[in-house]
Amino acid sequence: MQKITLTNLVSKSHLAEDHHFPSPCFYVDDGFSGGNFQRPAFQQMISDMENGGIGIIVTKDLSRLGRNQLHTGLYIEERFPMFGVRYIAINDNVDTDSSENNDLMPFKNLFNEWFIRDTSRKIRAVLKAKAERGERLGTRAPYGYRKNSETKKLEVDEEAASIVRRIFAMCAGGSGPSQIARILKKEQILTPTMYAYTRFGITYVGLDTQRPYHWSGDTVADMLENEIYLGNTVNMK
């Protein structure tokens, strides 16, 4: 039996009940942009559709399917019909089983794409204005600092800062990044990512809990080149 595909909103569940649509199933992609069609649940839905497991797809409106005019139109007008799937967008009054109310659909898809582009431009403008005022844009504090929970400004984290000062002192004394890394590793000093994880519960890409002291020359070199340790704020790189 083919199932009806819904998202996580109660209204669509009621629609399935009211129209006696069988076997409702929910695909939810919270936290993903509508401009991205590589969303995990969306891709799973498409896979299920291609395998013949879906007969009807229902979304709250067209923007919940996607915010890219070309791709959204391609799915609605070509891919869904290819697999015999009926598509319904409740708030936009779109139903591919009835062509009477679908004339404005391309324009609504265009507006949805414009909306996400306009939002992106506004966000970039806000970030640029903050950067021009000298405010730091980074979301995470670099090694040796911590972010004040109230002011959101950076504060010195003395425990890690002592390691940073030592790294700069060793460099000034003639030691290169690879040599410094070997010393820190031998003394079992936690790497910046491991320190952030154990001290603040923050996870970073590349976190290796199996090698907590595995300093590299590149890590040390990046710290030595980072102007933030001079007190400078560097934004919009």
Mean pLDDT of 104-129: 78
Half-sphere CA count of 193, side-chain side, radius 13 A: 16
| 17 has a pLDDT exceeding 70 | no
| 216 has a pLDDT exceeding 90 | yes
Which residue from 125, 153, 149, 150 is spatially nearest to 138, judged by alpha carbons?
153
Percentage of residues of the chain with pLDDT beyond 90 = 28
Q: Phi and psi for 176 in degrees, rounded to 5?
A: -85, 170
pLDDT tens digits for 150-184? 877 889 999 999 999 999 999 999 999 999 999 99
Half-sphere CA count of 207, side-chain side, radius 13 A: 12
The C-alpha atoms of residue 178 and residue 155 are separated, in whole angstroms, by 28
Please tell me the pTM assigned to this model.
0.51
pLDDT at 1: 44
Question: Are the C-beta atoms of 1 and 43 separated by less than 8 Å?
Answer: no
